[in-house]
Amino acid sequence: MTAALPPNALALLKQALAEGTLSLAYQPQVELATGRIVGWEALSRWHHPQYGAIPPDAFIPLAEQHGLIVPLGQWLWRQALHDDYCRQRNE
């Protein structure tokens, strides 16, 4: 079941992409045999100041339907690379 989107969700998503107000959450990928972390999965998140958390199963299909999935993917890659760079500098 897809979560309900706020009114004017498309305009809000365009604004979030333009302003960089989406975020990423990182989930470890674990090798079951050893328990060792072998990678990370970047999960896109959108927390709108007025409407709260808008789940990916709501905003990703919206992005796909309106040609925003490529800009969303580009943002995700840039942000993930930036986060990894910052993490490595702090190790």
Strand partners, 26: 42
C-alpha 16/C-alpha 22 separation (Å) is 6
The two counts, helices (H) then strands (E), for the chain are 3, 3
**pLDDT digit string (tens) for 12-61?**
999 999 998 999 999 999 999 999 999 999 999 999 999 999 999 999 99
Reported pTM: 0.81
